[in-house]
Amino acid sequence: MYTPPSGKSTCLSVLLAAMLLAALVLPNVGCRSGSSAEALVVDIGKRNPEQLMRFYLGAIDGVGGDSLLTTDGRRVAVRGDRIEALTGYRADTNSDGRLDWDETVALVAVTYRAGERYPATRDELEAQTDYRNDDVSFTVDLQGTMTVATRRIFVPMSALRAAVASVDPANPRVMYPVSTTIVGEHWLDNALAETTVMTKRQDGFWDYYVYNASGQLADSTSTEPRPLQSPTQCAGCHFGSRTFEPEKSFPAPARPGPDGPRQFVSDVPRVSPDVVAFFDEHRRRSDTVLGIYATLFVGQLQEMAAAGNISDSDRRILATLFGEGE
């Protein structure tokens, strides 16, 4: 006689055993609700995944991503559950246990929100920092690689002086104080097309943000040759090792690039090649700052010293860098 029940029960017990095994072998399967640890392996196809993830996650936890990142020195993983707890956003959108580049861009778009930490308009930024005041900022005008617009870059004089004064002559890294804000205005046909900004965070990374032509915070730049998404595309050049003109050839003039001239268009001090080599500022980019403001500033101090027109404190800065004779 045909007895289906026993067959059925065998089938069920096999199924139960399989489920039990799956639960034992794949502990993560049951943990996707976010209550337990969820380490997402970072798989973004970039050269410096840990630095990039610390930069992005530091914008969430304020401590360089320390609470959201784990690494065994080889592989970097991020805590998807903690990110979700802090931001309400689930980073692993395709639930494969990894964080790929598209998921990272989406995560950053939702969580970076530099706008909530910084002024909502360029006018407010100006009111807070007074960066257009000649007494406040060290200013350089140039045509470079980021845009075909002419850039006017404003570096707070007090921060630049502090950075130069703290340079170790044996290892001349130029490091700016926390909270330094550097502004780059992009000018086309006598109109301000956009403004790019970097503000140094507590954790040592800089936040990147952009104001559009009407002075509102924007997701990206818009000028030729290509719009740059903030902050994901800012990190590309600022964290990379590629060198750019006109900084690369300075003090020699640079040849024009595919998108036009690359040159300093304001008067820059005559800086001796020795000083340029001493800082090697653009290649060293110790603080992910790509301009050569310390080099130019010291060139200016040396010109003032030669003209007998330098303050005692600035003379001491030169003496510390290059010895008493300066």
With CB under 6 A as the contact rule, the residue among 137, 196, 295, 302 that binds ligand HEC is: 196
With CB under 6 A as the contact rule, the residue among 80, 184, 215, 251 that binds ligand HEC is: 184
Closest separation in Å from C-beta 197 to ligand HEC: 5
With CB under 6 A as the contact rule, the residue among 49, 64, 215, 291 that binds ligand HEC is: 291
C-beta closer to ligand HEC: residue 38 or 281: 281
CA-closest candidate to residue 97, choices 78, 121, 110, 124: 78
Interacting span for ligand HEC (CB under 6 A) from 3-11, 61-69, 227-235, 308-316: 227-235
Closest separation in Å from C-beta 100 to ligand HEC: 21
Cα separation, 236 vs 192, in Å, equals: 24
With CB under 6 A as the contact rule, the residue among 87, 222, 233, 249 that binds ligand HEC is: 233
Cα separation, 259 vs 287, in Å, equals: 27
Closest separation in Å from C-beta 282 to ligand HEC: 8
Q: What is the DSSP letter of 78?
A: E
C-beta closer to ligand HEC: residue 67 or 233: 233
With CB under 6 A as the contact rule, the residue among 101, 239, 244, 322 that binds ligand HEC is: 244
Q: Determine if 239 is a binding residue for ligand HEC (CB under 6 A).
A: no
Six-digit token pair at 39? 């380490």
Residue keyed to tokens 């308009």: 121
With CB under 6 A as the contact rule, the residue among 57, 76, 99, 182 that binds ligand HEC is: 182
Cα separation, 76 vs 78, in Å, equals: 7
Cα separation, 92 vs 99, in Å, equals: 6
Asked if 195 and 184 touch (Cβ cutoff 8 Å), the reply is yes
**Interstrand relation of 39-43 and 150-156 (parallel, antiparallel or unpaired):** unpaired
CA-closest candidate to residue 198, choices 161, 173, 235: 235
Interacting span for ligand HEC (CB under 6 A) from 126-134, 165-173, 229-237, 265-273: 229-237
CA-closest candidate to residue 59, choices 217, 204, 238, 260: 204
Question: What is the chain's Cα-based Rg?
Answer: 26
User: Does residue 231 have a cis peptide bond before it, meaning omega lies within 30 degrees of 0?
Assistant: yes
Asked if 145 and 298 touch (Cβ cutoff 8 Å), the reply is no
C-beta closer to ligand HEC: residue 57 or 140: 140
Q: Determine if 181 is a binding residue for ligand HEC (CB under 6 A).
A: no
With CB under 6 A as the contact rule, the residue among 104, 180, 230, 263 that binds ligand HEC is: 230
Q: Is 99 helix (H, G, I), strand (E, B) or coil?
A: strand
Asked if 265 and 187 touch (Cβ cutoff 8 Å), the reply is no
**What is the Cβ-side half-sphere exposure of residue 194, based on CA atoms within 13 angstroms?**
21
Interacting span for ligand HEC (CB under 6 A) from 39-47, 85-93, 228-236, 303-311: 228-236
Q: Determine if 210 is a binding residue for ligand HEC (CB under 6 A).
A: yes
C-beta closer to ligand HEC: residue 77 or 174: 174
- Per-residue contact string for residues 108-147; x = within reach of ligand HEC by CB under 6 A: ----------------------------------x-xxx-
Positions in the binding site for ligand HEC (CB under 6 A)? 142, 144-146, 151, 153, 182, 184, 196-198, 208, 210, 221, 228, 230, 233-234, 236-238, 244, 247, 289-291
